[in-house]
Amino acid sequence: MADASYPDDLLYHPEHDWARIDGDGLATFGITWFAQDALGEVVFIDPPKVGTTIAAGEAYAEVESVKAVSDVVAPMSGEVVAVNAALGDGPEAINDDPYGDGWLVQVRLSDPSERDGLLDVAAYTALLD
């Protein structure tokens, strides 16, 4: 497993999710290093389908580790335009690279101003202490 890290170019939701604003009204979501560490080895993802509308603060996917299952909460609202299909055969990418190969979905944001309600890296990591 990778060492603890929290990139400073991401926005964070207190439920241990991250969002990367990609531009053109798109954003990519995933779970944080803290979340994957708490879960342990991820063995299964139940992702939403492309086209699903997801709402900030609500669960949009399930991540299962050997020991537990966890809902993944959407940091922002929108329509899913892509899911990381590689996680189907390689869910361990969430552990190995939670901010890169371990991304979960890309979303067309319905309210880009929701970003103002998210945490920056300092605020999020303060939450973990």
Partner 1 sequence: MVPFAGWEMPVQYDGVGAEHEAVRTTAGVFDVSHMGEIETSGPQALDLLQRLLSNDVAQIPVGGAQYSVLCREDGGVLDDLFTYRLGADRFLTITNAANHERDVDWFRRWAPEFDATVEDVADRYAMLAVQGPRAREIVQAASDRPLPARMTVGERTVAGVRMLVCGTGYTGEDGVELLLPPADAGRVWDDIVRRGAKPAGLAARDTLRLEACFHLYGNDLSEDRGPIEAGLGWACKEDTGFIGADAVRGARVNGAGSERLVPFKITGGGIARQGNPVVGGGVVTSGTHSPSLGIGVGLAYVPSERAEPGTSFEIDVRGKLRPAVVTTKPLYVKDSNGKDSDG
Nearest approach, Cβ of residue 79 and partner 1 (Å): 22
Of 44 and 128, nearer to partner 1 (C-beta) is 44
DSSP, collapsed to helix, strand or coil, labels residue 87 as: helix
Nearer to partner 1, 67 or 113 (CB): 67
Torsion sign, CA atoms 49, 80, 104, 85 = positive
Name the strands in the sheet holding 69-73, side by side, starting at the edge strand that comes first in the sequence.
42-46, 59-65, 69-73
The smaller minimum CB distance to partner 1, of residues 21 and 43, is found at 43
Give min distance, CB of 43 to partner 1, in A. Answer: 4
Output 9 or 46, the one with its CB closest to partner 1: 46
Residue 38 has a CB neighbour count (10 Å cut-off) of: 13
Closest approach of partner 1 to the CB of residue 95, in Å: 9
CB of 62 to partner 1, least distance (A): 8
Count Cβ neighbours within 10 Å for each residue of 72-102 and write b for 16 or more, e otherwise.
bbbbbbbebeebbeebeeebbbbbeebbeeb
Question: Binding residues for partner 1, per CB under 8 A?
Answer: 1, 40-41, 43-44, 46, 64-67, 69
The residue behind tokens 């063995």 is: 43
